[in-house]
């Protein structure tokens, strides 16, 4: 149906003014409703439809690639001079200036501005805007906030093929830079494309490393010289030692000769205290500890073979995995080995045989980290297999304190340089644990999941607040620890000293008891040998030993499972006494009679364990 209305106007009438007049309404079109059409539609009420007369649009989100920005400054060059004045010519500029000074508006404005500036300068001089009002007020007691740590930055390996961060070292002056050693420690996993570089990062800039170090073979460990912050020394995968000076570029200044270096990857290298400040020593799994003077890396100045039988026999040497050196005790150093033994050595001994003073056997696997407590050098921390152990130098039989067996392998640990009772450990499941042994001994005070892959290295900065840990995929994470864990608490040193003393004393008593038992066993076995003529009583056959070991193992696993189930039911229930759980919750009170009583109660249980060890010892004789 077409609705049409026609307008007509005579040409001659164009332009004429409009004369409007009233007219009655006229129906032009009437469209009645057609019910037959309604059959094609269905009633739908209410109807809610929004209509908008606009173009169809769709929304997408796109994440752009990381934008790398660099900031640099621009040098201002004189400009703004009028065309006829040459800014380089003194005469012309002086003339121009003099001309301006004669200008009236100049004079007026300067007089006015001078008054204003005067007022403000006077303000600065008269009132001390930031006075110290409450200087004498005593320090408020710090509220114990829950321990926390937060990630500040992650420095990722810029190469395609990611390598593990195996070594970390903080810059000695203030710690604004972090040197990280990258290498792939898995046997024969490195491809030809894997980069050999290690990097020095500025902690403010995680986008790009500040400097690259280019050795001939990947670096496993590196160390900044504490005396000279420009020099670094690093140990390579092929056993060589390399020496860098950051002022001289990325290439090493000198390399040690291949024949005179280690035969296995150098796992640890540390600078020594010396008058010249150029001495370092390194350790490797080939069983040697070598001393170097970095001015002449062609051959080591001294050599030590870690042979426990003190004969210097390389075949029987223990492979070294970690080194420890405390600058307050320059003549002693300690080596942690692959066999789980910590060897304490004296540098100043005359003969190589006397160099090895004593050994501490405690771990089932390689001792990955070894460090003396910076406040109590007689006590040191070792990490290996699934535990972290604290030792006292005097007790050689066992560690004085240890953590319970963790769920995954511990790979590195270090003490906090500001709090004597705090140490950090990293594990293969990517967790960083902060242990405060004055606060809680059974569990870490703070447990953080840093990343999904295994963590291999850990270093705390000298201020105790920043911690860097390196992972398997080449990511070095920088974390900041809360102030509660990085500021020295009241009485902390004395409390910790008391704790160490207590534990040492306990171990001494246990050692003495164990010796007594062994003597008794020996005398008993001798007696029975006389009686029976030749039958060894103390000997257990290997099968019986295996059966006993199996039984112990299963009982331990069962108690652990039970404990976990109990913990799930009741979160507050204390774990039941297990064979492995020996440390009690610490209350900082002095050594008193109650302790001795507890000691006596514990004793009947322990000989069972020690007896097993005795049995083994007798067999292997």
Partner 1 sequence: MLTDAHCCFQAEVEETLKRIQGQKGVQGIIIVNSEGIPIKTTLDNSSTVQYAGLIHQLVMKARSTIRNIDPQNDLTFLRVRSKKNEIMIAPDKDYFLIVIQNPSD
Closest distance to partner 1 from the beta carbon of 432 (Å): 35
Q: Is 448 left (phi over 0), alpha (psi -120 to 50) or beta?
A: beta
Closest distance to partner 1 from the beta carbon of 87 (Å): 9
Packed helices 492-532 and 606-620: angle between N→C axes, nearest 10 degrees:
60
| C-alpha span between 612 and 616 (Å, rounded) | 6
Count of residues near partner 1 by CB under 8 A = 34
Contact stretch for partner 1 (CB under 8 A) within 64-72, 95-103, 384-392, 395-403:
95-103
Q: Decide: is 88 part of the binding site for partner 1 (CB under 8 A).
A: no
Out of 12, 45, 111, 587, name the contact with partner 1 by CB under 8 A. 111
Site for partner 1 in 500-539 (CB under 8 A): none
Pairing of strands 379-384, 401-402: unpaired
Q: Decide: is 118 part of the binding site for partner 1 (CB under 8 A).
A: yes
* Strand ranges (E), 306-340: 320-325, 332-337
Out of 9, 60, 102, 275, name the contact with partner 1 by CB under 8 A. 102
Cβ neighbours of residue 28 under 8 Å, at least 6 residues apart?
Answer: 3, 5
Out of 38, 89, 95, 114, name the contact with partner 1 by CB under 8 A. 114
Number of H helices, E strands in the chain: 9, 28
Closest distance to partner 1 from the beta carbon of 72 (Å): 15
Name the strand (E) or helix (H) holding 368. strand 367-372
Closest distance to partner 1 from the beta carbon of 106 (Å): 6
Pairing of strands 401-402, 475-481: unpaired
Out of 104, 136, 315, 531, name the contact with partner 1 by CB under 8 A. 104
Chain centre to alpha carbon of residue 111: 62
Q: What is the torsion angle, in degrees rounded to the nearest 10, for the CA atoms of residue 419, residue 421, residue 422 and residue 424? A: 130
Select from 252, 283, 253, 251 the least CA-distant residue to 265: 283
Closest distance to partner 1 from the beta carbon of 85 (Å): 9
Out of 38, 107, 357, 549, name the contact with partner 1 by CB under 8 A. 107
Measured over the CA atoms of residue 605, residue 441, residue 415 and residue 455, the dihedral's sign is: positive
Question: How many other CB atoms are found less than 10 A from the CB of residue 603?
Answer: 12
Closest distance to partner 1 from the beta carbon of 173 (Å): 20
Closest distance to partner 1 from the beta carbon of 205 (Å): 22
- Cβ distance to partner 1 smaller for residue 15 or 80: 80
- Cβ distance to partner 1 smaller for residue 99 or 551: 99
Question: How many other CB atoms are found less than 10 A from the CB of residue 610?
Answer: 16
Packed helices 606-620 and 542-569: angle between N→C axes, nearest 10 degrees:
150
| C-alpha span between 390 and 500 (Å, rounded) | 9
Closest distance to partner 1 from the beta carbon of 229 (Å): 24
Out of 38, 89, 95, 122, name the contact with partner 1 by CB under 8 A. 122
Q: Decide: is 100 part of the binding site for partner 1 (CB under 8 A).
A: yes
Q: What's the token pair of residue 206?
A: 């995680």
Question: How many other CB atoms are found less than 10 A from the CB of residue 102?
Answer: 8
Select from 228, 234, 239, 152 the least CA-distant residue to 200: 234
Out of 128, 135, 137, 585, name the contact with partner 1 by CB under 8 A. 128
User: Coil, strand or helix: which one is 30?
Assistant: coil
Contact stretch for partner 1 (CB under 8 A) within 120-128, 402-410, 509-517, 571-579:
120-128
Closest distance to partner 1 from the beta carbon of 112 (Å): 7
Q: What is the torsion angle, in degrees rounded to the nearest 10, for the CA atoms of residue 11, residue 16, residue 19 and residue 23? A: 10
Closest distance to partner 1 from the beta carbon of 84 (Å): 13
- Cβ distance to partner 1 smaller for residue 64 or 124: 124
Out of 106, 553, 554, 591, name the contact with partner 1 by CB under 8 A. 106
Closest distance to partner 1 from the beta carbon of 466 (Å): 23
Q: Decide: is 94 part of the binding site for partner 1 (CB under 8 A).
A: no
Q: Decide: is 72 part of the binding site for partner 1 (CB under 8 A).
A: no
Residues in contact with partner 1 by CB under 8 A are 76, 78-82, 96-97, 100-102, 104-107, 109-118, 120-122, 124-125, 128-131
């Amino acid at each position: 149906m077409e609705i049409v209305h026609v307008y007509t106007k005579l040409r001659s009438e164009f332009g004429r003014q409009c004369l409007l007049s009233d007219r009655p309404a006229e129906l032009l079109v009437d469209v009645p409703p057609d019910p037959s059409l309604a059959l094609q539609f269905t009633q739908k009420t209410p109807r809610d439809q929004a209509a908008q007369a606009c173009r169809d649009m769709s929304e997408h989100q796109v994440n752009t690639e990381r934008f790398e920005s660099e900031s640099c400054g621009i040098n201002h060059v004189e400009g703004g001079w009028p065309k006829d004045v040459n800014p380089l010519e003194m005469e012309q500029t002086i003339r121009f200036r003099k001309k301006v000074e004669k200008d009236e508006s100049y004079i007026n404005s300067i007089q006015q501005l001078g008054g204003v500036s005067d007022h403000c300068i006077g303000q600065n001089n008269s009132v001390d805007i930031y006075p110290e009002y409450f200087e004498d007020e005593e320090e408020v007691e710090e509220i114990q906030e829950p321990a926390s740590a937060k990630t500040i930055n992650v420095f990722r390996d810029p190469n395609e093929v990611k390598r593990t961060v195996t070594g970390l070292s903080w810059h000695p002056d203030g710690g604004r830079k972090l040197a990280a050693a990258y290498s792939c420690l898995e046997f024969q996993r490195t491809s030809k494309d894997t980069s050999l570089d290690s990097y020095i990062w500025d902690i403010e800039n995680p986008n790009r490393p500040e400097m690259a170090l280019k050795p001939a073979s990947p670096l496993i460990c590196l160390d900044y010289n504490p005396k000279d912050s420009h020099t670094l020394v690093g140990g390579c995968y092929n056993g060589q030692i390399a020496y860098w000076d950051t002022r001289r570029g990325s290439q090493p200044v000198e390399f040690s000769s291949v024949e005179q270096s280690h035969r296995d990857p150098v796992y640890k290298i540390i600078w020594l205290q010396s008058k010249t400040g150029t001495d370092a020593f390194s350790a490797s799994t080939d069983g040697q500890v070598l001393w170097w003077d970095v001015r002449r890396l062609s051959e080591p100045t001294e050599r030590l073979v870690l042979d426990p039988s003190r004969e210097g026999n390389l075949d029987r040497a223990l492979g070294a995995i970690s080194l420890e050196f405390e600058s307050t005790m320059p003549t002693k150093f300690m080596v942690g080995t692959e066999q789980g033994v910590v060897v304490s050595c004296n540098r100043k001994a005359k003969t190589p045989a006397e160099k090895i003073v004593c050994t501490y056997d405690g771990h089932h696997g390689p001792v990955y980290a070894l460090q003396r407590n910076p406040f109590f050098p007689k006590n040191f921390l070792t990490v290996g297999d699934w535990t972290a152990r604290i030792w006292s130098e005097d007790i050689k039989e066992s560690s004085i304190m240890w953590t319970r067996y963790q769920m995954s392998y511990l790979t590195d640990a270090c003490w906090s340089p500001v709090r004597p009772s705090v140490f950090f450990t990293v594990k293969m499941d990517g967790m960083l644990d902060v242990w405060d042994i004055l606060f809680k001994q059974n569990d870490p005070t703070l447990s953080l999941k840093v990343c999904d892959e295994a963590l291999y290295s850990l270093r705390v900065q000298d201020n105790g607040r920043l911690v860097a840990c390196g992972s398997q995929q080449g990511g070095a994470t920088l974390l900041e620890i809360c102030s509660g864990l990085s500021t020295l608490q009241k009485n902390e040193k004395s409390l910790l000293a008391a704790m160490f003393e207590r534990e040492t004393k306990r171990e001494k008593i246990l050692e003495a008891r164990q010796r007594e038992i062994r003597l008794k066993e020996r005398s008993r076995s001798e007696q029975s040998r006389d009686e029976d003529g030749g039958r060894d009583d103390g000997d257990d056959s290997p099968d019986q030993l295996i059966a006993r070991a199996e039984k112990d193992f299963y009982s331990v696993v069962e108690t652990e499972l039970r404990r976990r189930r109990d913990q799930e039911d009741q979160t507050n229930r204390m774990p039941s006494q297990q064979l492995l759980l020996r440390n009690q919750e610490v209350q900082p009170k002095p050594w008193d009679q109650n302790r001795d009583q507890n000691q006596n109660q514990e004793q009947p249980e322990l000989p069972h364990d020690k007896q097993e060890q005795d049995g083994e010892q007798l067999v292997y004789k």
